[in-house]
Structure 1
């Protein structure tokens, strides 16, 4: 006797992972509403109980720029490639902050969300992606501040050059059009490295502490407070050259200000290194997410 079992359609089928290369990006797209909800949560909750609220988005780069201008520009006399000092430091600061925030906050995803991951199913990649997008909102606010400073010095250069120091200039060029590409690869690089680190912290908790002060040290190996041309004259130039953020920040700064020059090979290296680290991060993250709850 044969039983006629009616055909059933399921909204979701949870199957075991058969390969680490199966990244389930379709599931991420299906859960895009959750992604935007988490982005909104991160943006609102972070400054919700602060006195100044979103004003901290402006205060942080302003104070950093003032300190860098006074210490590195005036006291130390470090070259800024004939770019007005506040514009030079702010360009490097906001670009570095976006990358650093993406990396540091992504690097603790497994540890910070262990309770949620152990109870509710959703694509785990949603969490680090929400961090990247919420930080993009913060970057957008700070970039608006940078544009104000940029326009101010552009007007000074063309109409009131006597207000600038001798030799200072602001001459934007066509590489400015690469701005969206640069931001995408900063996000990809930060996300990729963050995924690698968060996967390792499930077993090696000490990495979380290393990342905290490691990012501060890494900033000095990136042309944030000095131009790449100055680093090439030093014995540590190879370290700066191998830093994937070097080509991205130098291109960003050169496109808007025209100071220094465009370094093609460091730029290409930054793009390739970002993609490679991103793919490695995705694969490791996909492998570890299957059983990380047992070790966190």
Structure 2
């Protein structure tokens, strides 16, 4: 039974208004699909760093070698590529030493693939946390992007060490150029592209779990559609557009061209990748914000 307003004590109304004004956090539904609330993510930056630390601890907990795996994984992958694609398949490396050629592709591709794969399972992997306490949901995929940046920097340091070794030895096939300055831009593009695509897949997998399995298999195929194990120059001209349709192709080729001076670089290809990244991030934002409101009912 409702109480008439005229019999509610005035001091009760004032106290109620004061209690509402004393809240430090007001949780309200989002009115716009494009409202990312980046301010909330910044205020929860300590939580983001905690998630980053959790990723490191959970990944290498109870391992003997620990963070040394950051170096072992790209080295083992590079050695495998040298044996299979270099010695057996005899694929071209544009006259570059196979070690530095494959390691350049592995360093770039590992960051993108690991970030996208991890981001694509955000809702499913963290459903228990999301259902118990409120925090900006975007902090979780952002923490994945940041933690993988740390991994990339460590593996990038390994690449730079081997790259300097060849330079100091006087390797004539390596010709670095000023495009090295674009490395932060390439890293940003990879991070945003994996974030956008990851939010799309993460949102869709709340209803369609098969997509997570499809993505794992698709990432393996996508690597072969990216000039990681071969140079773009080895692709016949009539099929080259298929490879360039992959937004990661321009990123890998630009990275390799900047540090090694071999490969192909074109501002148009890089602009296409940037536009693709912006569209993926835009669509990922819309879908993520829409699914966020009701994903606990379907997970």
Runs of 4+ in structure 1 deviating by more than 6 angstroms, as ranges, are none
Tell me, yes or no, if the aligned pair for 1:94 and 1:142 is still in contact at 8 Å: yes
Q: Distance in 1 between matches of 2:46 and 2:123?
A: 21
Q: In structure 2, what is the Cα distance between the partners aligned to 1:264 and 1:78?
A: 27
User: Residue deviations 1:236-291, cap 9 Å, x none?
Assistant: 42321110101111111110110123122211111111111012111110110000
**Counterpart of 1:41?**
54
Question: Residue by residue, what CA displacement relative to the aligned partner does 1:57-84 show, whole Å, maximum 9, x if unpaired?
Answer: 1111111111111221222221112221
Which residues of 2 match residues 4-43 of structure 1 at below 5 A? 5-6=14-15, 7=18, 8-43=21-56
Q: Which residue of 2 aligns with 1:285?
A: 288
1:234 Cα deviation after fit: 5.7
For structure 2, the residue ranges without an aligned partner over 5 or more in a row are 1-5
Is 1:215 the counterpart of 2:214 in the alignment? no
Matches within 5 A, 1:53-202: 53-157=66-170, 161=171, 169-202=173-206
2:94–2:262 contact (8 Å) kept in structure 1: yes
Q: After superposition, give the CA deviation of every residue in 1:206-245 in whole Å (9 maximum; x if it has no partner).
A: 00111111110000000000111222x1654232111010
TM-score by length of 1: 0.93
What is the distance in 1 between the residues matched to 2:95 and 2:162?
Answer: 16
Larger Cα-atom Rg: 2
Cα shift at 1:86: 0.6
Q: Distance in 1 between matches of 2:280 and 2:216?
A: 20
Which segment is superposed worse, 248-257 or 80-89?
80-89
Equivalent residue for 1:230? 234
* TM-score, normalised by the number of residues in structure 2: 0.92
- Stretches of structure 1 that go unaligned for 5 or more consecutive residues are 162-167
Q: What is the number of residues matched between the two proteins?
A: 286
How far has the Cα of 1:51 moved from its partner?
1.5
Residue of structure 1 aligned with 2:266, choices 259, 263, 267: 263
Q: Distance in 2 between matches of 1:83 and 1:185?
A: 26
RMSD: 1.4
The range that moved more, 74-83 or 268-277, is 74-83
Equivalent residues of 1:82, 1:260 under 8 A apart: no
Moved more, 171-180 or 13-22: 13-22
3-state SS of 1:262 partner? coil
